[in-house]
A and B are shown apart, each in its own frame.
Chain A
Amino acid sequence: MVEVEGLYHSYARDGRYAVEDVSFAIAKGETFGFLGPSGAGKSTTQGVLTGLLQLQKGAVTVAGHDMRKPGRAMFNRIGVSFEQSNVYDKLTALENLEFYRKLFDVETLDPMELLRTVGLDHVAKKKAGEFSKGMKHRLTFARSMLNRPELWFLDEPTTGLDPAIASEIKDIVKKRKEEGATIFLTTHNMYIADELCDRVAFIIDGKIKLVDSPRALKLRYGEKLVRIDARTEVGGTRS
């Protein structure tokens, strides 16, 4: 579904690369975690994969489309949920989804149903400008599902959300995965990656250092820890 070979990207012409010789492939139906600290090159890589940044050097294919010249058709097949919510503040939640829905050439999901899925149906007619940060984030997340994307890019999908909402978001991601969607998950949270991803890649200083399954990585690098809780009963009293 995604093939990246020797990707380089620079923001300046000083020869310094934000990402350097990045290569990986994501199979159809796989959930691929892209981990790394801030400034490591996660967003740059995702930017190139989603067409937000022009491909400068390397070969990148997304959903069968060469990213040197991604066609309109590619955007009908992908969905992108941004870390920073970016919805129209002056439009209501429902209007936001209705507006973006019209941009797709494929059948889309019912906006009201999507709002229900992310728990925003009760504020569907409220302007997004009046929403809390978490609510805007959920609206951005819902928008990314409008076209039922085959390839779903999620950038820090649970950051800034309270645990209950974060859990609901994770459940939605798991459900889409079960339905066959391929997911590219950018995060710095190891626990989220462990819970959701089939494989993870670690990117540091623009270079991929490691790609493997969370389980294999835990076995290889995790601490072997056995925790024993002891309980004794003395004279009928537990201690």
Chain B
Amino acid sequence: MLPVFLAMNAAFMGLFIIASYIFLDKAEGAVKAFAVSPAKVWHYLAGKMGVVAVTGLASGLLTVALVAGGNVDYPLFVVLLLATNAFGSAVGLFIASFFDDLSSAMGWVFGSVALLGLAAVSYYMPSFSPLAVRLLPSYPMLFAFRETLLAAPDAGLVWANVGGYSAGTVVLFLLAERQYRRRMTA
């Protein structure tokens, strides 16, 4: 069970971190300098997501390898981790796009993490699985990560999750990008 939660931690790493990165750049004014260059807003946002992906992948692989050793389907695990990490970052980007500073965004970020964390409660206590919790994006994520740790994983389930999180990432990223284009330097 522990590796599943460690993987989840790596997946949702971006939710916190990406908002901090962007607000730090805003505070330093570096965003303004970027905004008057030919680079596009999505380049900037994708760059931040890339940094989070590398960090998430390194921490996820390291912790899961230490705990689960060789009993993991690593190629499947890496693909799922990258997809879920991107999704977590996109959620963080989307939330942060509505705020001007970290302190005002933090309430929403923490609230989202607490909400997504309900899936873990349900995973730990199967009797607690109301529909609202099962609809949370973190719910299928737990089961998908569990599959990658099994001797004979259901690859179809994992790939379905990868597809779902990738689609969600694209939608949230586009919405966030639109919002940042309007507000990034306001």
Is the CB–CB distance between A87 and B30 below 8 Å?
A: yes
Which residue, B29, B38, B182, B185, has most C-beta atoms of chain A within 10 A? B38
B66 in the interface (beta carbon within 8 A): no
Distance to closest chain B CB from A151 (angstroms): 11
B132 in the interface (beta carbon within 8 A): no
**Contacting residue for B38 out of A50, A53, A87, A104, CB 8 A:** A104
- B29: A residues at CB distance < 8 A: 82, 84-86
| Number of interface residues, chain A, beta carbon within 8 A | 25
Q: Mark A83-106, 1 if CB is under 8 A from B, else 0.
A: 011111100000000001001110
The residue on A at minimum CB distance from B27 is A86
**Contacting residue for B37 out of A84, A88, A103, CB 8 A:** A103
- Using a CB-CB cutoff of 8 Å, which residues 46-73 of chain A contact chain B? 47, 50-54, 72-73
A86 with B38: in contact, given A52-B185, A54-B182 (CB under 8 Å)?
A: no
A76 in the interface (beta carbon within 8 A): yes
Q: Which 3 residue pairs across A and B have the least CB separation, nearest first?
A: A86-B29, A103-B37, A75-B38
A78 in the interface (beta carbon within 8 A): yes
| Number of interface residues, chain B, beta carbon within 8 A | 15
A103 with B38: in contact, given A53-B185, A82-B29, A88-B30 (CB under 8 Å)?
A: yes
Total cross-chain contacts (CB, 8 A): 48
Query: Given the complex of chains A and B, what is the CA–CA distance between A87 and B25 in angstroms?
Result: 9
- 14 further interface pairs, Cβ-Cβ under 8 Å (given A52-B36, A73-B38, A104-B37): A52-B185, A53-B185, A53-B186, A75-B38, A76-B38, A82-B32, A86-B28, A86-B30, A86-B32, A86-B33, A87-B33, A103-B34, A103-B39, A104-B38
Is the CB–CB distance between B38 and A82 below 8 Å?
A: no
Is the CB–CB distance between A51 and B182 below 8 Å?
A: no
Is the CB–CB distance between B37 and A51 below 8 Å?
A: no
Query: Given the complex of chains A and B, what is the CA–CA distance between A54 and B38 in angstroms?
Result: 16
Distance to closest chain A CB from B72 (angstroms): 35
- A105: B residues at CB distance < 8 A: 38
- B33: A residues at CB distance < 8 A: 80, 82, 86-87, 100, 140, 143
**Contacting residue for B28 out of A89, A100, A103, A143, CB 8 A:** A89
Which A residues contact B (CB, under 8 angstroms)?
47, 50-54, 72-73, 75-76, 78, 80, 82, 84-89, 100, 103-105, 140, 143
- Using a CB-CB cutoff of 8 Å, which residues 28-55 of chain B contact chain A? 28-30, 32-40
- Using a CB-CB cutoff of 8 Å, which residues 140-180 of chain B contact chain A? none
Query: Given the complex of chains A and B, what is the CA–CA distance between A54 and B33 in angstroms?
Result: 16
- A78: B residues at CB distance < 8 A: 36
Distance to closest chain A CB from B26 (angstroms): 10
- A54: B residues at CB distance < 8 A: 182
Query: Given the complex of chains A and B, what is the CA–CA distance between A53 and B30 in angstroms?
Result: 16
Query: Given the complex of chains A and B, what is the CA–CA distance between A140 and B186 in angstroms?
Result: 20
- Using a CB-CB cutoff of 8 Å, which residues 92-148 of chain B contact chain A? none
Query: Given the complex of chains A and B, what is the CA–CA distance between A54 and B41 in angstroms?
Result: 14
